[in-house]
């Protein structure tokens, strides 16, 4: 080391080596351990999200007495204001997560720089929610609580001092030589002089994910209407045009729960005034109350960049960053005064006039127009850290406005991060690849975020229907017609099929609502990859499989290990969805162990095997677990309002008896937090003659009971 360098390091006290091995891991919540190395930043992901863990719910998870990893193999070092971390990997271990990736599910072998950004078609860590959390097929999770751009080497580097190093092979003679030899560690580099690290116990990967989700507050419980159908209208629509569109939905019998207004509702946008355009929306109060009477709500597009013409401009100016975005100022949302001024106008101009939610755009990237990393913010927090937490802050602060009114919201956002699990927002973007949208849906389930594979426009009727089929089996059933003006019925050849699918979404409302409640109360992600499914073992084979071992007919898991399953997913506890993509007539589906049944007919399909399906254009392949119970309701055009009764048609599938917990509350307020909610047990058993018999548990006294008539359908009659 040269003298100058040594001097700087000594003066700044920047050389320090510490190792987690020497530290004690503190159990901070059931099955969650924390360790601190060095001096972490004051601001981090969990402090930005600031949501208390759901300790009671975590206590109910299977107990995992001991720390899931060998502490001696977790190492941290601090050099020159950088923290380096190392976690062990076993030979057959697979890892998932690191946020909203679009092309890959297996993260072992990947190099990423976790950086909030608009997804740019490569899984390199730059994405809308680059959550520094991964979950292992061995049944544990790791979270690095830093609002920094984190470099991740997920099993790529090989250390000289490794306990399980790769073998040196001769490329000249050895066919098994590989340019990417085996690595036994996940290594990370965090540009900070210390960091907090969390380890989550399983025992299963799903338990580790549940623990992470509950530790970060549990999933959001959307209002019932948030799970209905939503149409985002053309950006320059006026109130009259919106009314007409709403009427057309009604006349054609298409369901609709909320309408999204795009930038044209604003008097000026990019940057924004945050006030209504008096020409297009002369009477927002009247407009929204008329729609609400029809059971339809309004969601507003915004981005947070304040126009010099906004009424809040002068007040907020001192609390904004050094750089502008589209000549608008950038609020520093870590400062309470900025929060008050900014959200104050939202409260006055939007919420109190009847707005039900937001789509918060442009809080992710792109670099070309967002503030650069050299920007300064009045709080003194670095531009890098502000970038990593901006999405969290806008979600938290806007959700807080609704909570104060005891009103639930469910909106859209383009950036999130670790810690944001509980915020009532779904991520979307401008990248429009149907297949990759499904992979993102899978990855959202590993990272405590929600994602919508929105439909915008399509090149063909076939593509439109295929996209709409997946939209229906996703967290937000949305058409985003801001540019195209597309309607659900825009392709007449498939309009009837699209309508049937949209109504199916509405019929399944009791299921969707209950599955979201399980996300909220138990941390179980409602949409998730096969890697979290019991009976689908990804760690059953070596990572590198020779061709003879990769006979998928006899070993479907070979594909899971080697090739990744990134085009099929679980929707709630009982459904396996295998989307079709335009141009495809058939596809392969890996069915986990157990028996699986056809969603539409109830017929037995298979189990623990690879099947090929040829479903026809009108069907998205959906498979149901043995013994599953699916609660359906009538095909409403709007979700039931507060206190409105709904009928149940309860479907049972398969050959085994089953049970399902149906969730109920008022569907709109936070009164459930005071105990105003109910779980009703739906069960199917065989009577003494061997016929199926269904039962719904009695309502508890003083608890919500919105059930109307109940009927049963035994889909697999045997
Ligand atoms: C984009 C956004 C689109 C749409 C558009 C309106 O940034 O991703 O969904 O809202 O802005 O200008």
pLDDT in tens, 333-347: 999 999 999 999 999
Query: Mind listing the domains of the chain with CATH numbers?
Result: 3-162+180-215 (2.60.40.1760), 224-431+449-492 (3.20.20.80), 629-714 (2.60.40.1180)
CA contacts within 13 A on the Cβ side of 568:
26
pLDDT at 12: 38
- Rounded to 5°, the CA angle 640-526-608 comes to 125
> Are the C-beta atoms of 19 and 59 separated by less than 8 Å?
no
What are residue 523's phi and psi, to 5 degrees? 80, 10
> Are the C-beta atoms of 566 and 530 separated by less than 8 Å?
no
pLDDT at 182: 83
Return d(Cα 368, Cα 373) in angstroms, integer. Answer: 12
**Which residue lies with its CA nearest to atom 4 of ligand 1?**
482
Return d(Cα 187, Cα 232) in angstroms, integer. Answer: 42
- For the CA of 269, the nearest atom of ligand 1: 12
- For the CA of 482, the nearest atom of ligand 1: 4
pLDDT at 557: 47
Does ligand 1 lie within 6 Å of residue 235's CB atom?
yes
Return d(Cα 29, Cα 618) in angstroms, integer. Answer: 47
Q: What is the CA(272)–ligand 1 centre distance, in A? A: 14
Does ligand 1 lie within 6 Å of residue 364's CB atom?
no
Q: What is the CA(250)–ligand 1 centre distance, in A? A: 26
**Which residue lies with its CA nearest to atom 3 of ligand 1?**
430
pLDDT at 521: 98
325 in helix, strand or coil?
Answer: strand
Which residues of the chain are modeled with pLDDT < 70?
1-23, 537-563, 718
pTM: 0.95
């Amino acid at each position: 080391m040269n003298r100058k360098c040594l001097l700087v390091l000594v003066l700044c006290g920047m050389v320090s080596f510490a190792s987690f091995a020497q530290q004690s891991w503190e159990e901070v919540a059931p099955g969650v351990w924390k360790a601190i190395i060095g001096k972490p930043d004051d601001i981090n992901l969990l402090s930005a999200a600031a949501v208390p863990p759901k300790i009671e719910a975590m206590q109910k998870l299977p107990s995992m007495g001991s720390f899931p990893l060998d502490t001696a193999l977790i190492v941290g070092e601090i050099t020159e204001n950088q923290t380096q971390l190392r976690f062990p990997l076993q030979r057959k271990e697979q890892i998932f997560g690191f946020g909203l990736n679009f092309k890959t599910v297996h993260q072992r072998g990947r190099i990423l720089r976790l950086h909030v950004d608009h997804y740019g078609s490569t899984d390199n860590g730059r994405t809308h929610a680059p959550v520094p959390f991964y979950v292992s097929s061995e049944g544990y999770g790791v979270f690095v609580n830093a609002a920094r751009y984190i470099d991740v080497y997920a099993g790529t580097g090989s250390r000289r001092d490794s306990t399980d190093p790769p073998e040196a092979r001769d490329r000249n003679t050895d066919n098994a030589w590989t340019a990417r030899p085996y690595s036994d560690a996940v290594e990370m580099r965090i540009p900070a002089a210390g960091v907090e690290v969390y380890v989550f116990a399983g025992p299963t990967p799903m338990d580790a994910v549940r623990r992470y989700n509950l530790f970060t507050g549990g999933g959001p419980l959307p209002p019932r209407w948030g799970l209905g159908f939503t149409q985002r209208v053309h950006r320059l629509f006026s109130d009259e045009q919106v009314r007409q569109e709403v009427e057309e939905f009604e006349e054609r019998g298409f369901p609709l729960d909320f309408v999204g207004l795009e930038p044209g509702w604003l008097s000026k946008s990019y940057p924004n005034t945050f006030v209504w355009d008096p020409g297009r929306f002369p009477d927002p109060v009247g407009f929204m109350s008329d729609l609400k009477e029809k059971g339809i709500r309004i969601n507003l597009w915004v981005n947070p960049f304040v126009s010099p013409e906004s009424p809040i401009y002068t007040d907020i100016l001192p609390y904004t960053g050094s750089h502008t975005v589209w000549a608008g100022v950038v609020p520093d949302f870590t400062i309470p005064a900025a929060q008050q001024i900014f959200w104050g106008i939202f409260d006055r101009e939007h919420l109190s006039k009847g707005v039900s939610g937001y789509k918060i755009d442009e809080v992710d990237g792109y670099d070309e127009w967002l503030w650069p990393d050299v920007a300064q913010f009045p709080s003194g927090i670095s531009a890098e850290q502000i970038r990593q937490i901006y999405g969290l802050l806008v979600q938290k602060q806007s959700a807080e406005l609704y909570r104060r009114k005891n009103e639930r919201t469910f909106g859209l956002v383009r950036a999130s991060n670790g810690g944001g699990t509980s915020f009532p927002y779904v991520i979307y973007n401008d990248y429009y690849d149907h297949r990759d949208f499904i992979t993102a849906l899978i990855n959202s389930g590993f990272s405590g975020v929600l994602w919508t594979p929105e439909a915008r426009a399509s090149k063909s009727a076939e593509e439109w229907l295929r996209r709409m089929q997946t939209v229906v089996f996703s967290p937000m059933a949305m058409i985003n017609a801001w540019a195209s003006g597309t309607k659900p019925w825009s392709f007449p050849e498939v309009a009837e099929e699209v309508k049937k699918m949209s109504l199916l979404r509405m019929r399944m409302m009791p299921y969707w609502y209950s599955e979201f409640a399980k996300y909220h109360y138990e941390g179980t992600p409602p949409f998730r990859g096969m890697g979290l499914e019991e009976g689908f073992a990804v760690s059953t084979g070596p990572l590198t499989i020779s061709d003879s071992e990769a006979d998928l007919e006899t070993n479907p898991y070979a594909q899971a290990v080697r090739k990744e399953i990134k085009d099929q997913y679980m929707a709630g506890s009982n459904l396996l969805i295998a989307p079709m993509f335009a141009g495809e007539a058939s596809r392969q589906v890996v069915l986990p162990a157990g028996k699986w049944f056809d969603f539409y007919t109830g017929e037995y399909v298979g189990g623990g095997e690879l099947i090929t399906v040829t479903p026809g254009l009108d069907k998205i392949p959906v498979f149901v677990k043995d013994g599953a119970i699916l609660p359906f309701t009538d095909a409403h055009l709007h979700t039931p309002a507060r206190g409105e009764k709904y009928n149940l048609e309860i479907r049972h599938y398969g050959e085994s008896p089953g049970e399902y917990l149906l969730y109920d509350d008022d569907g709109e307020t936070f009164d459930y937090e005071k105990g105003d909610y109910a779980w009703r047990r739906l069960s199917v058993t065989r009577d003494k003659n061997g016929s199926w018999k269904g039962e719904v548990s009695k309502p508890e006294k003083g608890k919500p009971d919105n059930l109307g008539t109940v009927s049963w359908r035994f889909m697999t009659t045997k």
